[in-house]
Amino acid sequence: MATQVPLAPAPPVPTSAGRPHRIAAPRRRWGLTAVGAVIAFLFLIPYVVMLLGSFKTKKEILSIEPTYLPTDWQPRNYVTMWDTPETPLPLNLISTIAISAAATVLVLLVAVPAAYYTSRRRFPGRLAFLFLVLITQMLQPTVLAVGLVRQFLAIGIHDTWLAMILVNAAFNLSFAVWILHSFFATIPVELEEAAMLDGLSHLQVLRKITLPLVWPGIVTATIFTVVACWNEFAASLVILTTDANQPLSVALTKFVGQYATSWHYVFGISVVSIVPVAILFALIERRLVGGLTAGSVK
């Protein structure tokens, strides 16, 4: 008897049921893009006003009928503000760069081995140590300003870069330790054990195997430390009393007087203060996003 070969199922007839979803996807994408553009525009408005204000004259800024665009563009504001009698602005910029860079390096030199050790060793008091590190993040330099000034006066480093480097490093160390601890904890110990079986020492394993894997975390800790040190104000105002030693965040207040304010210089200094941080963000944006999202997908 001849066997019947089963017929292949007929292909499904395309219907218009899925079309609304395919049509709605571009609309949703365009809608999200429009909302994002509006939010970005709202956030950028103050910066645009600040940038335009830096090209205006003081009289025009304080005019009864202000305008958004300068009627008389003054690019010389960015030249004359460096020679104002209020404060030695070039030295303030050098002070900001030196304090931020040195404090960031000090934070990384301490945070990397501390985070590595706490993620690899289960020593007595480990949880208490991590808890104390977290508590220090809740404190601000303003709360401890009086004690810091007395301590620095006692050891003879008051009104110096070293004092502010130590303060900035101390108050940003906890964040760096915590974020690097989470990165080190995600790396399997078996990788390091296999490398040591091949003859590498602990230091070589850390430098050649582990650190490249936690590089996004190092970049994240670096950028947040740099920004925090760059924008620090309260402790610098109390500890640094000499105009030449003060950072830009404190020097900016010298142009705000009781009876008159040089707003064109305030805007110009603010733009100069933002540019280095914006360039740093642009250079390491991909690393920063990778560091913030690491561990979210397994």
pLDDT digits (tens, 9 = 90+) for 53-106: 889 988 888 887 778 888 888 899 999 999 888 889 999 999 999 999 999 999
The count of domains in the chain is 2
pLDDT of residue 98: 95
Assess if residue 147 is contained within a domain. yes
Same domain for 128 and 42: no
Same domain for 48 and 168: no
Picking from 75, 95, 129, the residue at the C-terminal end of a domain is: 75
How far apart CA 115 and CA 182 sit, in angstroms, is 8
On whether the CB atoms of residues 168 and 231 are closer than 8 A, the answer is no
- For the ranges 21-25, 99-103, 214-218, 234-238, which has the lowest average pLDDT? 21-25
pLDDT of residue 93: 93
Picking from 75, 105, 140, the residue at the C-terminal end of a domain is: 75
On whether the CB atoms of residues 62 and 263 are closer than 8 A, the answer is yes
Assess if residue 174 is contained within a domain. yes
pLDDT of residue 297: 43
List, for residues 106-138, the tens digit of each pLDDT value. Answer: 999 999 988 888 888 777 777 777 777 777 777
Q: In 3-state terms, what secondary structure has residue 272?
A: helix
Which of 175, 183, 176, 174 lies closest to 206, judged by CA? 183
How far apart CA 224 and CA 233 sit, in angstroms, is 16
Quote the mean pLDDT of the chain.
82
Same domain for 247 and 182: yes
In this model, does residue 249 exceed pLDDT 70? yes
CATH number at residue 132: 1.10.3720.10
Rounded mean pLDDT of 207-221? 85
Same domain for 137 and 40: no
Same domain for 71 and 36: yes
Q: In 3-state terms, what secondary structure has residue 188?
A: coil
pLDDT of residue 287: 62
pLDDT of residue 160: 92
C-beta neighbour count of 16 within 10 angstroms: 6
Question: In which band, very low, low, confident or very high, does the pLDDT at 36 lie, cut at 50, 70 and 90?
Answer: confident
Range of the domain at 185: 84-293
Rounded mean pLDDT of 19-36? 72
- For the ranges 23-32, 70-79, 190-199, which has the lowest average pLDDT? 23-32
Same domain for 270 and 230: yes
Which of 132, 125, 100, 122 lies closest to 225, judged by CA? 100
Picking from 46, 75, 104, the residue at the C-terminal end of a domain is: 75
